[in-house]
Amino acid sequence: MKFDTPATTNPIDQMKVVGQPLSRIEGPLKTAGRAPYAYEQHDVVPHQAYGHVLVAAIAKGRIRGMDLAAARAAPGVLAIVTAANAGALGKGAMNTARLLAGPEIEHYHQAIGVVVAESFEQARAAAALVQVDYAEAPGAHDLAAARAAAVVPRSRADSTLGDFAGAFAAAPVQLDATYTTPAHSHAMMEPHASLAAWDGDSLVVWTSNQMIDWTVGDLARTLAMPKEKVRLISPFIGGGFGGKLFLRADTLLAALGARAARRPVKVALTRPMIANNTTHRPATIQRIRIGATPDGMITAIGHESWSGNLAGGKPENAVEQTDLLYAGAHRLSALRLAVVDLPEGNAMRAPGEAPGLMALEIAMDEMAEKLGIDPVAFRVLNDTQVDPEQPARRFSQRQLVECLQQGAARFGWEQRDPRPAQRREGRWLIGLGVAAGLRNNLTMKSGARLRLDRQGQVIVETDMTDIGTGSYTIIAQTAAEMMGVGIDQVTVRLGDSRFPVSAGSGGQWGANSATAGVYAACVKLRETVAQRLGLDPALAVFADGQVRVGNRSLPLGQAAGAEGIVVEDSIEYGDLGRRYQQSTFAAHFVEAAVDSATGETRIRRMLAVCAAGRILNPKTARSQVIGAMTMGVGAALMEELAVDRQRGFFVNHDLASYEVPVHADIPHQEVIFLDETDPMSSPMKAKGIGELGLCGVAAAIANAIHNATGTRLRDYPLTLDKLIGHLPALA
């Protein structure tokens, strides 16, 4: 099915099942411990062995030699695979040659081999016996130092409109400030893990991966084998945040180890490897310039961002939201990429917008203060209903002003004193902060297969993944709504490359695209059912397990007969995404308390008001948003991958030292979804919500801290050492 015209009325609009706050259908499996994750697939194949990954102990250089003799002689060892004996490996789309290095080393903890043994303990012990002789080379490990040599990336030229330099110089009120965000780790609960088993020349991998089809293709290219000979299975994923979008070392090394040992092999990356071996959110240095008239109209807005990556990598696109969020006739946005010899920087939840808004939305508050205008009013004043850089292109839906205004009313924004450091409760300084959020709506082709049996049971099969976001539930709701059955009559099977290719989980595109793919398959099933029952598909009504036309009503399952019905279809998108700018919007409000003696910050309450198209399940959507808000607290106050600039690695690479928010850090959180449907987006009229809930949160906290203390922080994380010494004394 091709979606190239605005969606009009369709069965989804009944909202009998879709749009209802249903609990996750896989919840009982998870709470009972019966949802098998990748490393827990104990019974799917016998005689499983264990792999332990060997990683580089230098950040840059080469391996002169590896002494494997002692490791090979260790108890239980079945095989040792290195680049020297792995055979020729192809290059996948994401430079998979980096997943098994040798002799050249590009970053610390780059995988250089895998030891396979009968038990995990034996594999780990043997790995410790491997002696590696390195020739170290000097590397670049400091973004600030590498900034001078940064270049315009091939992926994005500078974007300009009008005469930014002239308009900024002429602006009566100006802001020119620099902000920094550190590198962040995904720190998901479930580590990267895979179990690989060969059957002749065919490979099956049980893994933890967000994008099944992408990874099947990359793995097949890397192993120089036909794609149809590779099967990936990933029914449950314990968090991904973008870190499991691509083929990683655990999957490749499990496959190579299993081939060498002639046994199924499971590999899990240790927690330090998640920081240093897999991908992370790169650090940024951002310069923002805003020029405005005294009455608050922005005349010039410029955003430049510097980030680092390995040679051939991409920059963090921290300027994208600035191209779209506020009006202004004269504009500049630019990215610069510096080569740094640190682990690969790549997608992490809301890539680009998350760190970009951490800077932009502080700058907007600073400008509002310069102008003497309320921060909410300043944002409303500079709203736009068209793409600022393509004025002929309107937003399909844009309710940013409504988000800000409803949020301000709900949060009690009128109680905020615009003068910083005015509200005290004992030793605590209290402040309120606001920030806008934007995340673009992306759509991807997505397919599904439906099976209908004579009992009226519907089975949905798609390689879509559930990374804890509720995919099982919203897909079941879609099928139930379309076929007129209860959700208990729908079975959803996900995460298997033998199923039709879906959008996968990432980029906030998963829910809308995957359910739209199920919708397309349901349309085909409805037509098939009606025709088999001798009914006009255009007039058929599917409800309560029956198919009705006029006074004639027949059971849904009757059409299936003894053999059942199997149909398959996918949703493909036309040019609506090019004709209309499709985005999601939010307003985040925060109340923060800062200890006037120590600088310790406590978040007291948070509110997110979101406009993100039709909300397919308010309960699972709220869960995503409060999780994202919590992630925003971490980004604001504590999360930072600290770089050893001499040795070139992330020092705090475990959950003891890489701090993330815990329950005690999180106060009352409230989420409001505006009533919105976007007919330009898909037949579901939905968009996405999982990343929007993060966009702007950290800046709202920074702005609340400024309102509480009078101290403006531009360097994340906003730790107490940056506040202490700048706090107003107790009266």
Q: How far is CA 534 from CA 135, 549, 559, in A?
A: 76, 10, 9
Cβ pair 648, 342 in contact under 8 A: yes
Residue 337, φ and ψ in degrees, nearest 5: -120, 125
Terminal C-alpha separation, the chain: 68
DSSP letter, residue 516 = H
519: number of CA atoms within 13 Å, CB side? 25
In the chain, the amino acid numbered 7 is A
Q: Concatenated DSSP letters for 584-633?
A: EEEEEEEEEEEETTT--EEEEEEEEEEE-BB-S-HHHHHHHHHHHHHHHH
Residues shown for the chain: 731
- Nearest Cα to 560, choosing from 455, 448, 450? 455
Cβ pair 579, 443 in contact under 8 A: no
Cβ pair 447, 502 in contact under 8 A: yes
E strand or H helix that includes residue 89: none
Task: Enter the tokens of residue 401.
Answer: 């002003």
Residue 729, φ and ψ in degrees, nearest 5: -70, 155
Q: What span, in angstroms and rounded, lies between the C-alpha atoms of 613 and 605?
A: 25
In SS3 terms, 264-313 reads as CEEEECCHHHHHHCCCEECCEEEEEEEEECCCCCEEEEEEEEEEEECCCC
Task: Enter the tokens of residue 479.
Answer: 């099928």
Q: What span, in angstroms and rounded, lies between the C-alpha atoms of 76 and 561?
A: 55
Cβ pair 642, 659 in contact under 8 A: no
Task: Enter the tokens of residue 200.
Answer: 């002749």
Catalytic pick among 26, 353, 461, 691: 691
- Nearest Cα to 568, choosing from 524, 530, 528? 524
| 3 state DSSP class of 492 | strand
Active site residue 691: yes
**Residues with a known catalytic role:** 691
